[in-house]
A and B are shown apart, each in its own frame.
Chain A
């Protein structure tokens, strides 16, 4: 017999013979000595404890789910970052190309033949027939002003 059955079947006996009841004064039965009718007391339903294996499984599934979501999120961030990197690289390459094209343009614009052509044909400059060098004359000390 299980302890639960014993509780259902022998409630009075337990009351009578219980350790606590023995110490308290016995109550007079109600109704002129007649014993009160027995009633069925339903045991309070307590939640059943989960087995350790079930809990571990749920935890494992949860961890796997979290990890999977984290991996997917990381991969998404990584892909996003790589895409941004590729875009920036392309942009850098494009800027470098533009810079080099501008360098070439500067070199072309400053080439001697272009400068001469612009000077002669656009600005109307002419090559001088003579170049005169002026050399300072050293004055004697006496004639030099203070």
Chain B
């Protein structure tokens, strides 16, 4: 057996390009379906784990998928906003705790997530450095966001204007980094977390400026009407909230009307959850409350349907590839006819020749399948990281 194996090996080494192409073909057709299954399975697990961990999500009526993707995965979708009052309504109902989410702004490419400290406990997020945000204008950044923005505790992050040409639009706010989160391998790693009030400051709903009642501030006063002072354009507005100027920051209008992308509703118990969902079922209701896992399952059903088509297509490609490899092998037999005849004339048996050829086929198959198994193992081992990176990028 060693003789035929030796001949097969020498042949494959000599015609290494042809051998490599055949091995690569076998590797691909063996790996793609298995690897795709691993990667899709990992993607599904990644997506559903976060959705599973979120019992209920409430937001303005509209696309549930857009609501979930925006609020849970901090995607670029911008669903209709609901209001702070709705979150208060749920909290005050005693049925659930409401954790606000306002995801509209970005610091370069990283989403700025306005929320409350309860969010960190809810998601089980831990600090790797620094402390939690305590003051208006402070932020806590996710691990990947810290890398990308190259910031750590004590540094600052500036919110990005939504449009550089919109001079009257959102004013950039410089925020001090209070802490950096430990990796959680989810969308939280990419986010810059601020208190929801800080997000409203970025929106321009709250602001801080020089005290117009202070001595020497007359030049910035346009009009006075009792306690009501109207500033002119020369008034100095603060673009950073510091311990010195934090007292000057204030909000106009009724905060209950301030916007939220959504709020996570954490029911006291299962019954409370059912009641809460029932309250939002009415056709007149401006709000919707969804179970994120249902929304993601629906999305995944679509993905899995697509996967079955892809796998079927791959099966066809695999068949065509195998047929081509078989054809290449048959053609090589014709090219090797004289070699085979020489071996037989010298004293080799047809069985021996068949063993040489079969050894080549087996070695190619074994190498191809082994490589595919290795790739599949790597996909299993590192696929989750790759998927996270892909999903988060």
Do A and B come from the same complex? no
